[in-house]
Chain A
Amino acid sequence: MFEYNKKLQYPVKIATPNPKLAKVIITQYGGPDGELGASMRYLSQRFSMPYPELKGLLTDIGTEELGHLEMVGAIIHQLTRNMTMEDIQKAGFDTYFVDHTAGVYPQAAGGYPWNAASIAVKGDPITDLTEDMGAEQKARLTYDNILRLSDDPDVNNVIRFLREREIVHFQRFGEALRKTQERLNEKNFYAFNPAFDR
């Protein structure tokens, strides 16, 4: 089960609203490599993971991703506060505003709503962990691109934190893959699926 803790993992305190930037950053809320997908991917993959320490790792990283989802939502919320109609028009925020006003909706920067097609749950530890390593790199790259697009120091402070988390998670998933290999027959890692064949 999950219990709410009434604080963010890392502070979000953005002095200057900027709806144009919000339109870009929302992709890490509900885009293909965003935090919603990350949490759903790991928290769903847990169920077929046969190894106790890796059930733990997927749970612990998946839970952290929910905290990142909340942080990205906080960024969008603070970047879109106190907007005038003129701000909305000037920022090109009108196409988002017409559907969601200043609400936070899980979508990609291009406007496409969150889609489970951007995650995978294959029910095989090597396959799922390899997916997870790729997912962390894609999220890291997306944060790199956000840093290229944003010159707001308050936003970039949070984005740098989130980006670094992707690197740490990549390392842990890589270690998880090594631990999976250690449990398999080293002559042929692909002889069977340890989550399915008993």
Chain B
Amino acid sequence: MRMTSGSPAPGGGCDYKNGTLPPCAPLAAGYVPMQEKNPETYDKEKALARGTLFPGLDLPFKNVTNKSNPYAGTPLGELMALQFMMKEMQLFLDTHPDDTVVFSALQNVIELYETGARTYARLYGPLSLKDMQYADKYTWTNDPWPWEYREKEGQN
């Protein structure tokens, strides 16, 4: 018996919702399709709201999706979105270390994050203890802490 296969992409290979399986495989083993190299991605705002950078893995319960997140468009929301892209690329590269496209995309996102985080720390307060290097006094313990409810999001 053969499983119905997903739709092939126009250029051959699998489309973004499908991955590759071995044509013949040893019995009594588990197989998840490998995600293809250089997969289709969302922009960073959409990735954060959806919980994945990859449309192929976006499989919502009852097909209800988040349109946005409560910090979208704020400086902190921007940093969260960049950090989330880094996390998604990291996990992808852990199992696809030879994907040079995703690797250089990761390097670009890290640079954007580092620049943004330095600016953020100067204007709103530290995200890491290292931000104390440029502070004029010790503000690391200042409220609010991340779990606290704040009416005005993204602002310390």
A residues whose Cβ falls under 8 Å from a Cβ of B = 3-14, 53-54, 56-57, 60-61, 64, 70, 73-74, 77-78, 81, 130, 133, 143-144, 147, 154, 157, 160-165, 167-179, 181, 186-187, 189-190
Contact with A along B135-147 (1 / 0, CB 8 A): 0000010000111
Closest to A72 in B: B147
Verify if B34 is at the interface (C-beta below 8 Å from A): yes
**Distance of A59 from chain B, by nearest CB (Å):** 9
Q: Secondary structure of the B side of the interface?
A: loop
Proximity bits, B120-156, A CB within 8 Å = 1, else 0: 0000011111000000000010000111111001000
Query: Is the CB–CB distance between A130 and B153 below 8 Å?
Result: no
B52→A168 contact, CB < 8 A: yes
A106 to chain B, nearest CB (A): 15
Q: Given the interface contacts A6-B128, A11-B71, A160-B64, does A174 sit within 8 Å of B147 by beta carbon? A: no
Instruction: Give the contacting residue for A7; candidates B29, B54, B66, B76; CB below 8 A.
Output: B76
**Which 6 pairs show the lowest CB-CB distances between chains A and B?**
A174-B32, A164-B51, A74-B147, A175-B95, A13-B70, A11-B71
* Contact across chains for A144 and B127 when beta carbons are under 8 A apart: no
Residues of A within 8 A of B126 (CB): 6
Contact yes or no, A160 B65, CB < 8 A: yes
